[in-house]
Amino acid sequence: MLIIGDTSIALGLLKGILEVNTDEILVNRFHEISLAFSEYEQQIDFFKELVKKNKENAHCHYGLAMAYIYEIQQNPGPNAGILAGVAIEELNKAIAIDSFHWSAHYALAMTYFHMPSQFNLNQQSIEIFVKLISIQERTDTLFPQYTLTYLFLGDAYMKDERYDEAIAVWEKGLELYPDESEFKLRLRHQ
């Protein structure tokens, strides 16, 4: 466990590593440490610089997008819409570089899913979740985070009052991940 004095050391080390070897695991670890110690602005500044140096690295764009998303979550004030727009741009850049970047697709789908209903973006979230399932089906590995695609695709269908489709996707998720209690919970309430 890190203590406050270790935060700057850990973040400094991660910054140095990320400048040489940017991968998603390290990006997520950097965010995790930054969030634990409320270093929101530092995330944005760091990833802006990293993107400038690595314009063709999907993980850098994903990292910057997530920094904006974390800022929105902590300070959902009047700038949230602007920050969401910038996050969406960065996620789209990551996807343009790596069309199979699962985390960028997932973050984009969730951003659309959580947008206020007057923006009418739920259908876009559904389309991205469906694409995520096709990406997931290309691998023989059932990663634990893949449950999220089925859970939130079902939730997005429910939002559109497409109940049969929601139930079907949750049942498919339960078939693939029989130990995931969230599927059972959602199906029990239908």
Tokens 């979230």 correspond to what residue? Answer: 125
Same fold? 1-98, 123-190 = yes
Does 1.10.150 match the CATH number of domain 123-190?
no
Predicted pLDDT at 14: 87
What pLDDT score does 76 carry?
84
Q: What is the pLDDT of residue 175?
A: 96
To the nearest 10°, the Cα dihedral for 39, 41, 45, 47?
60
3-state secondary structure of 106: helix
Domain ranges of the chain: 1-98, 123-190
Q: Which pLDDT score is estimated for 1?
A: 45
The torsion region of residue 38 among left (phi > 0), alpha (psi -120 to 50) and beta comes to left
Predicted local confidence at residue 5, as pLDDT: 57
Distance (Å, rounded) from C-alpha 21 to C-alpha 26?
Answer: 9
Regions of the chain where pLDDT drops below 50? 1-3
DSSP H helices in 2-101: 4-20, 24-36, 40-53, 58-74, 80-97
Residue with tokens 């130990």: 179
Tens-digit pLDDT profile for residues 98-125: 999 999 999 999 999 999 889 999 999 9
User: What does CATH list as the number for 1-98?
Assistant: 1.25.40.10
The C-alpha atoms of residue 58 and residue 99 are separated, in whole angstroms, by 9
